[in-house]
Structure 1
Amino acid sequence: MKDLQDLLAMAIPQPAMSHQLQLAEESSISVPDCLDFTLQRFTYESALPVEDVAMVVYQPAKRGQAAAIELRYCVAGSKYCKNPECTDQLCAGKKEQCSDKVPSVDLITVRFQPTFIQALQKGATSYSIFDNQSRKPFVKSIQPCTKSKSVLETMVHNDYEGVLKNIFLQSRALDLLLYSSDQFVKNDIDERYGCRFLTQMEDRGKIEKARDILLEQLDAPITIRDLARRVAMNECYLKKGFKAMYGTTIYDYFQKERMEKAKGLLYEKGMSVSEVAMLMGYSCISHFSTAFKKHTGLKPCELLLR
């Protein structure tokens, strides 16, 4: 429970604000010989600054028992409907049409059973999920990537029952393990446990400052060299540290946030394609359209027609 509270504290840095959370739902599902899935959903009345965070908890093998891996997530954005005539599944599919929704924070835990992890590693000719020589447990904080958050959404909101639900949860949990592994497992033995320099709070702070700079100037692209100079960090460390903390490259993160902002300006503000392209720092509309389609799968004009 302490670790879950730590996760909440990371997602909501202001201690006083976390007291506004109210437990609205709690559920647990066990897939035999595979994993345990638990969900705790908290609602809150006033706006809270919630940041999606995650933890990887590793227990080493001991006394003939395989290593155990637990993934813990604290994500915002899901909705909980207070209207008894409107099911949670319905809200998941039509969030914008639900008038009784309130903001929520979901604490999700996926614990892989030791025997399942051992079965995954059987016959592996390369490195195991964790170094076989490791005898110490650890807890590592990671930033859930977009793919992981999409998987979590489907795990919370699905219509499967019985055996099909077990199959679905197992497949989705393996997706989570795969997407998260990029942040805590490396082919290079020296880097297998991530960027060691990130154990220093000062260095993590520089990475966070770099992200804040990106978000503050989505309309003005900045080179990695200039970004590294502004946060007083080596370029190589900045690139490695950013990917370790946020699960993606600096450029991909910037483009994703840039296109999300553009989508909001087009769809919610009703601005024209040329206006948005100019605001996002594009001198050529066709370049903006290409970047937008790559991110959203739609051309800007196609989004306006919806």
Structure 2
Amino acid sequence: MNAVMDILKQAQKGGIDANMDLLYKKEQHIPGSIQYTIRRYYAQHPWVADDSGMMVYHYNEKKPKDNYLELRFCITGNRYCAERSCGMCNELPTMNCSGRTQTLDVFTFHFTSSFLKQFVHNVKLANRKDEVLAFKHPNAFTKLFPLCVRNRNVLDALLNHSYSGSMENIYVNAKVHELLLYSMDCLVHEKEEGFACKFLADDSGKERIYQARDILLQHIGDPITIKELSRKVAMNECYLKKGFKEVFGTTIFDFYQQQRMEHAKYLLYEKSLSVTDVSALLGYSSISHFSAAFKKHTGLKPCELLK
């Protein structure tokens, strides 16, 4: 996970080009439009890491024209073939290529404040998502989040489509808007009526709850206790549990388990990892414990998702 975080942090300026072999690059840097860069690198060594996303909210009250929102994604374990005509073949290698190459794929999508404000024109700012899109949230931040299935599907579509020319522009812009929509879900829904817990009326209290959620997502494969979590966010355990339930509508344990099982489904079905590997990656002490938890939350046995 630390290596992926480093890549996401360097992604803005392509700082990893010097350290890895670049296989493919696609970019668009048109002022006033969606700006993006897609880079595919040769993965010299097999990666066993969670695919991740990062949201960077840059805010400077004194220089509003410089404000921007950036989405960065890192995906491991994909395959690349330079011969697009044989991209769906099952023969390795084929006559025209030397076989598919395992890649590390890095995406950066840059949205200026002027571009995003079109979505909040004449809209009541009812929650934190609206505030961010309107650049009314007063503090800059960087958030790391695991990729949901919807975001993964969109990123795969951007890598594997057959459009060109003006049709490609329409297609890519549509997909980037989807990424923006799904990525904003990493920000919480706040209730307009206010919170029952008085300490959540203070921005500091709410930020600690958001921070707790981010820490849980960063520890998908490294379980953390509520006591440890409360220490990390400097909040009383009782307040943390009540505040989390108030903001997210579920307990810390149920939220964490749901996220782990969703990630397990992805690793089993999309990445075709074994039950043993997934169990280890999610921090379970035994395969039987993982299998029982998986069936409880999904109604399926892990082996039923294996391709």
TM-score by length of 2: 0.61
Residues 147-186 of structure 1: pairs in structure 2 closer than 5 A: 147-184=150-187, 186=189
Are the counterparts in 2 of residues 258 and 280 from structure 1 also a CA contact under 8 Å? no
SS at match of 1:281: helix
SS at match of 1:169: helix
| CA-CA distance at 1:71 after TM superposition | 0.7
* Residue 22 of structure 1 pairs with residue 21 of structure 2: yes
Asked if 1 retains the 8 angstrom alpha-carbon contact of 2:267 and 2:273, the reply is: no
Once the two structures are TM-superposed, the CA of residue 249 in structure 1 deviates from its matched residue by 3.2
Match of 2:299 in 1: 291
In the TM superposition, residue 77 of structure 1 has moved relative to its aligned partner by 2.3
Q: Distance in 1 between matches of 2:230 and 2:66?
A: 43
Q: Deviations over 1:58-107 (max 9, x none)?
A: 233766748421111111122122xx5x32x743x45x655412221111
Structure 1 residues 256, 137: closer, same or farther in 2, change over 3 A?
Answer: closer
Pairing 1:212–2:213 present: no
C-alpha separation between the residues in 1 aligned to 2:112 and 2:178? 16
Instruction: Say whether the 8 Å CA contact 1:129–1:185 is kept in structure 2.
Output: no
- How far apart, in 2, do the equivalents of 1:168 and 1:184 lie? 26
Distance 1:160 1:261, change over 3 A: closer
Distance 1:211 1:230, change over 3 A: farther
Given that 2:216 and 2:256 are in contact with CA atoms closer than 8 Å, whether structure 1 keeps it comes out as: no
Sort the Cα spacing of 1:141 and 1:261 in 2 relative to 1 into closer, same or farther, 3 A.
closer
- Aligned partner of 2:33 in structure 1 is 34
- Give the aligned partner of residue 75 of structure 2: 75
| Change over 3 Å in CA distance of 1:176–1:62 after alignment to 2 | farther
Question: Which amino acid letter does the alignment assign opposite residue 183 of structure 2?
Answer: S
User: What is the rounded CA distance, in whole Å, between the counterparts of 1:194 and 1:19 in structure 2?
Assistant: 42
Residues in 2 aligned to 1:126 and 1:8: alpha-carbon distance in whole angstroms: 33
SS for the counterpart of 2:292 is coil
Gaps of 5+ in 1: 12-17, 215-226, 270-275
Partner of 2:107: 108
The answer to whether the 8 A contact 1:239-1:249 is kept is no
Conserved 8 A contact 1:34-1:170? no
Q: Which residue identity is paired with 2:79?
A: K
One-letter amino acid of the structure 2 residue matched with residue 291 of structure 1: G
Q: CA deviation at 1:54?
A: 2.2
For 2:20, give the aligned amino acid. L
| 1:145 corresponds to 2:148 | yes
Cα distance in structure 2, aligned partners of 1:177 and 1:102: 29
Q: Which residue of 2 aligns with 1:272?
A: none
> Counterparts of 1:105 and 1:97 in 2: how far apart (Å)?
22
> Residues 205 and 140 of structure 1: is their aligned pair in 2 closer, same or farther, counting only changes over 3 Å?
closer
| AA aligned opposite 1:152 | L
Quick one: distance in 2 between partners of 1:185 and 1:103?
35
Q: Distance in 2 between matches of 1:112 and 1:158?
A: 23
C-alpha displacement of 1:174 = 1.7
The aligned counterpart of 1:250 is 256
C-alpha distance in 2, partners of 1:10/1:51?
A: 16
8 A contact 2:40–2:103 mirrored in 1: yes
Partner of 2:196: none
| Runs of at least 5 residues in structure 2 that lack an aligned partner in the other structure | 11-16, 94-98, 193-200, 232-236, 276-286
1:224 aligned partner: none
For residues 192 and 171 of structure 1, do their structure 2 counterparts lie closer, same or farther at Cα, with a shift above 3 Å needed? farther
How many residue pairs end up in the alignment? 258
SS at match of 2:116: helix
What residue identity is the alignment partner of 2:291?
M
1:170 deviates by 1.9
- C-alpha separation in 2, matches of 1:181 and 1:53: 14
Distance 1:152 1:135, change over 3 A: same
